């Protein structure tokens, strides 16, 4: 019994360490240039932990190797980040406008923000688990957003949960947000992408 508890907390500790590596990777890439490599490294490092392949000392090396493997997608990361930043900026500006037409703009900005997040999640999954090019990954992701509405709603719900976690407790979000995201995506779309 004690060994199971020890093993559980050891795995949780590894997940928290991987979360911090994720944030460090994002910051090193100025966030906008490293979103795809960081998410890909997060997915693959967690897969390694779940398969029992990696020890504590290897986590940083493993994460950095995966991050370097997908580091070529800086332009794609920049484009996804730019669309999200523009959506958030538009949303913040439109929230200050007291006009009935601003409501339409708010709805469009929120829709674009959510769809960009969902498309990014699908794209990285296709990139990592299907080994497709970035063009094909994005094309499949865009179609998947429309083709699988249940999974799209699950990923959108995950995004809302992560936003609420960040708003309520930033420390919890920093430590567990990437792990919640990774497992949420694993539940929502990874199996779908592997079998599609």
* Model pLDDT for residues 83-124, shown as the tens digit of each residue: 999 999 999 999 898 888 889 999 999 999 999 999 999 999
Question: Cβ-count burial of 185 within 10 angstroms (0-12 exposed, 13-18 middle, 19+ buried)?
Answer: buried
Measured CA to CA, the distance from residue 127 to residue 44 in angstroms comes to 11
pLDDT digits (tens, 9 = 90+) for 118-155: 999 999 999 998 889 999 999 999 999 999 999 999 99
Distance CA 187, CA 191 (A): 7
Residue 21 has pLDDT above 90, yes or no: yes
Domain extents in the chain? 2-195
Say whether pLDDT at 70 is over 70: yes
What is the value of pTM for the model shown? 0.90
């Amino acid at each position: 019994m004690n060994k199971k508890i020890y093993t559980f907390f050891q795995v949780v500790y590894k997940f928290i360490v991987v979360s911090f590596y994720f944030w460090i990777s994002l910051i090193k890439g100025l966030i906008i240039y490293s979103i795809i490599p960081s998410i890909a490294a997060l997915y693959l490092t967690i897969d390694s932990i779940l398969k029992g392949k990696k020890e504590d000392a290897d986590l940083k090396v493993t994460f950095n190797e995966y991050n370097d493997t997908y580091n070529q997608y800086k332009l794609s990361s920049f484009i996804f980040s730019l669309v999200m930043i523009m959506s958030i900026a538009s949303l913040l500006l439109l929230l200050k406008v007291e006009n009935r037409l601003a409501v339409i703009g708010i709805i469009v900005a929120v829709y674009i923000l959510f769809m960009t997040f969902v498309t990014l999640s699908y794209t990285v999954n296709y990139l990592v688990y299907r080994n497709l090019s970035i063009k094909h990954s994005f094309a499949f992701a865009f179609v998947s957003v429309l083709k699988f509405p249940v999974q799209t709603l699950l990923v959108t719900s995950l995004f809302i949960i992560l936003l609420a976690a960040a708003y309520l407790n930033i420390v919890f979000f920093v430590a567990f947000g990437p792990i919640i995201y990774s497992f949420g995506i694993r539940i929502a779309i990874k199996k779908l992408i592997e079998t599609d």
